[in-house]
A and B are shown apart, each in its own frame.
Chain A
Amino acid sequence: MNKGAAYLLAILVVVFAVFGSGFATTANILNIGVQSSVLLLLALPMTLVIMTEGLDLSMGAVLSLSGVVMATMLMNEHRLPVAVGAAVGVGLAFGLANGLLVVALGLPPFVATLGTLGIAQGLALLVSGGQSVVGIGDALPALYGREPLDVPFAIWVAVAAFVILRLALSKTRLGPYVSAIGGNREALVLAGVRANVYHVGVYVLAGAMAGFAALLLTGRMSAGHPTAAIGMEFDAVAAVIVGGTTFERGKGSLWGTLVGVLTIGVLKNGLNVLEVSSSLQVASIGVLVIVALAIDSMLQALKQRRHTPARAA
């Protein structure tokens, strides 16, 4: 994990708590949790994708598509579990397509998923006719509005996703395998592990979780919108990078990603409290990533310098 990110988060919290009245209230902190929950659902699997030296740029568009599909089914009076199943199914299909393009056909991930981004975006526009899908009935808003133990439903879902994935990585072989796909694939294959299956599986998970995230997104908006989550994959990539997962050496950490997601959530919320326009919030995340990466690259350079013995004169 990137320790710098944890410090950064702490500094942001302190700064906003001091300068933004209304930041450090229970209501606002829960609000940050709710706002961060969808992003966490995208950023967790994105961490695994990036650990395999990959990237999934289609997640935002797939989430939008799944949301539109879910809302349309609810509007046509299908039951909630069926609608959720359809949304996850759409995500699964895109994840499988991404995985096969990257692993079976050997396409560079960022361009392959840029292509599927376009396809998902086009489908979302076609399914919805370019309009918001409203009139989704009561079932989803009722579920989304529940607050067991005074904590909003969205936060429960996000926490559950984190715990499950964290356990899967630490208690099963998934963790070492995913690291090895990015770090030392040859060794994995020689050890008799079907690396390709796991590699495709990582993309399938990413797609499925993007589809599942539609539950929270659609619940929050009480509607489906074809461009609702456009660009959200950037926030996810940003959170992962800020959290210290790198595109090389298969190194990554879900805790780091959690910190990254919260850093972005706090940054956006704090800027909101300080009444900075929402467009500049988007730009601030770009700057945040560059700062985080710059710190990382400087730390790397320092480390290298320390480990390289001085040349003999």
Chain B
Amino acid sequence: MKGLAYRLIAVAAIAVGLAFATDVFLTSANVLNVLRQASLTFLIASGLTLTILTAGLDLSVGANVGLSACFAATVMKATDSVTMGVVAGLGFGALVGVLNGLMITLLKLPPFIATYGMLWTLNGVTYWFMGGETIHGFRPGFRALGSGYGLGVPIPIYVMAAFLLVGGVFTRYTTFGQEVYAIGANREAARLSGVPVRARLTLVYILSGAMAGLAAIVYLARLNSAEADIGEPLTLPAIAAVLIGGTSLFGGVGSLTGTLIGALTLTLVVNGMNLLAVDASWQPLVTGAIVILAVWIDVITRQRAEARV
């Protein structure tokens, strides 16, 4: 909890700094924009958080968002039904999760290798599936999910809040949540205590895939178009958000609230760079540096905790 407080202070400090440095930052339009962007990053990063809590990783989330969005868009156009499109996107995302889960639990592949292979496989399939086409122009009712407002607040923020609440309760107060932490903290001990490790891990990767599918739907609604390359820039920021939020790569430590704070921090940094007219080429560089810094802090924290024991 102390860690979260420090992280909130960091967010506040960046926000105050940006408020002084630019005139635009504190306008309500920009603040809502930041929150909307952070909501999307949170949705992608939330399932990823679960996988990292089990000492795993899902590198395929960004590519999954890309292909699920393209698939949902195609189905939506073909059937002229928003519901069918949404079901297709969510279902496809979850299916990718099933495949990841099976590779990890059945074939016993290291999660980063299995999901890394999945990343490039999905990328290839997406380009083939789209064949250079762009699908755009969806119904206003659907687009509202990404770009609409309810009581003056962007809809994605409600989606984010709902999933933060559900996910928070799920991880903190249910047996499933406790089992996720237990697997990450000590897989062997969890197995001996009767946790069905394989089934739980598979479920975690399915959830990660389904959340990528959901993020794809919201993303699609906001962009109002689907192209093969939309998922590519999403992976690194999602991982950065989880790590900045204090979820440990070594498993068993972290929270969805932390990931939200991480998503907010990262979005503020990117937004600040945009407002200060920094070349967009700096973004992967800065995100990469942040990832390294966050993991370093994670390693130091862990070493200190071990030294105390």
A297 and chain B: residue at smallest CB distance: B107
In the bound complex, what is the Cα–Cα distance between A107 and B300 (angstroms)? 10
In the complex, whether A247 has a CB less than 8 A from a CB of chain B is yes
The answer to whether A279 and B109 touch (CB under 8 A), given A122-B286, A286-B117, is no
Instruction: Give the A interface residue count (CB, 8 A).
Output: 44
Of A101, A116, A285, A294, which contacts B120 at CB under 8 A? A285
A-B contact pairs, 16 of them (CB 8 A): A107-B292, A112-B292, A117-B288, A118-B288, A118-B289, A119-B289, A120-B288, A122-B282, A122-B283, A125-B284, A238-B117, A283-B123, A284-B124, A285-B120, A286-B118, A293-B113
Q: Is the CB of B285 within 8 A of A118?
A: yes
Residues of A within 8 A of B117 (CB): 234, 238, 286, 289-290
Q: Is the CB of B124 within 8 A of A279?
A: yes
B235 and chain A: residue at smallest CB distance: A114
In the complex, whether B203 has a CB less than 8 A from a CB of chain A is no
In the bound complex, what is the Cα–Cα distance between A229 and B290 (angstroms)? 23
Which A residues, 272 to 313, have Cβ-Cβ distances below 8 Å to chain B? Answer: 277, 279-287, 289-290, 293-294, 297
In the complex, whether A148 has a CB less than 8 A from a CB of chain B is no
Q: Is the CB of B289 within 8 A of A115?
A: yes
In the bound complex, what is the Cα–Cα distance between A237 and B103 (angstroms)? 17
Q: Is the CB of B120 within 8 A of A286?
A: yes
Residues of B within 8 A of A69 (CB): none
In the complex, whether B125 has a CB less than 8 A from a CB of chain A is yes
- Chain A residues within 8 Å of B, Cβ to Cβ: 55, 57, 101, 105-108, 110-112, 114-123, 125-126, 130, 231, 234, 237-238, 241, 247, 277, 279-287, 289-290, 293-294, 297
In the complex, whether B10 has a CB less than 8 A from a CB of chain A is no
Q: How many whole Å from A284's CB to the nearest CB in chain B?
A: 7
In the bound complex, what is the Cα–Cα distance between A19 and B93 (angstroms)? 36
Of A111, A237, A238, which contacts B249 at CB under 8 A? A111
In the bound complex, what is the Cα–Cα distance between A117 and B119 (angstroms)? 15
In the bound complex, what is the Cα–Cα distance between A297 and B127 (angstroms)? 30
In the complex, whether B165 has a CB less than 8 A from a CB of chain A is no
Q: How many whole Å from A8's CB to the nearest CB in chain B?
A: 16
Number of A-B contacts (CB under 8 A): 128
In the complex, whether B133 has a CB less than 8 A from a CB of chain A is no
In the bound complex, what is the Cα–Cα distance between A123 and B292 (angstroms)? 16
Residues of A within 8 A of B303 (CB): 106
B293 and chain A: residue at smallest CB distance: A115
The answer to whether A107 and B113 touch (CB under 8 A), given A125-B281, A126-B281, is no
The answer to whether A115 and B107 touch (CB under 8 A), given A122-B283, A281-B124, is no
Residue of A55, A57, A122, A241 with highest tally of chain B CB at under 10 A: A122
- Per-position binary interface string of chain B over residues 228-248, scored 1 when its CB falls under 8 Å from any chain A CB and 0 otherwise: 000000001001000100000
Instruction: Give the B interface residue count (CB, 8 A).
Output: 44
Q: Is the CB of A280 within 8 A of B291?
A: no
In the complex, whether B20 has a CB less than 8 A from a CB of chain A is no
Q: Is the CB of A111 within 8 A of B120?
A: no
B111 and chain A: residue at smallest CB distance: A110
Q: Is the CB of B120 within 8 A of A118?
A: no
Residues of B within 8 A of A281 (CB): 124
- A-B CB proximity, top 10 nearest: A118-B288, A122-B285, A286-B121, A282-B124, A283-B124, A279-B127, A125-B281, A115-B292, A279-B128, A115-B291
Residues of B within 8 A of A116 (CB): 288, 292
Q: Is the CB of B128 within 8 A of A105?
A: no
The answer to whether A283 and B288 touch (CB under 8 A), given A118-B236, A247-B110, is no
Residues of B within 8 A of A120 (CB): 288
A55 and chain B: residue at smallest CB distance: B112
Residue of A110, A123, A237, A241 with highest tally of chain B CB at under 10 A: A110
Residue of B108, B110, B281 with highest tally of chain A CB at under 10 A: B281
Q: Is the CB of B281 within 8 A of A130?
A: yes
Q: Is the CB of B108 within 8 A of A297?
A: yes
Residues of B within 8 A of A114 (CB): 236, 239, 288, 291
Q: Is the CB of A231 within 8 A of B281?
A: no
Which B residues, 271 to 285, have Cβ-Cβ distances below 8 Å to chain A? Answer: 279, 281-285
A57 and chain B: residue at smallest CB distance: B116
Which B residues, 234 to 269, have Cβ-Cβ distances below 8 Å to chain A? Answer: 236, 239, 243, 249
In the complex, whether B149 has a CB less than 8 A from a CB of chain A is no
Q: Is the CB of A126 within 8 A of B282?
A: yes
Residue of A279, A287, A289 with highest tally of chain B CB at under 10 A: A279
Q: Is the CB of A111 within 8 A of B291?
A: yes
Which B residues, 108 to 154, have Cβ-Cβ distances below 8 Å to chain A? Answer: 108-110, 112-114, 116-128, 131
A282 and chain B: residue at smallest CB distance: B124
Residues of B within 8 A of A122 (CB): 281-286, 288
In the bound complex, what is the Cα–Cα distance between A130 and B126 (angstroms)? 24
The answer to whether A108 and B295 touch (CB under 8 A), given A115-B289, A118-B289, is yes
In the complex, whether B287 has a CB less than 8 A from a CB of chain A is yes
Residues of A within 8 A of B239 (CB): 111, 114
Q: Is the CB of B299 within 8 A of A119?
A: no
Q: How many whole Å from A108's CB to the nearest CB in chain B?
A: 6
Q: How many whole Å from A299's CB to the nearest CB in chain B?
A: 12
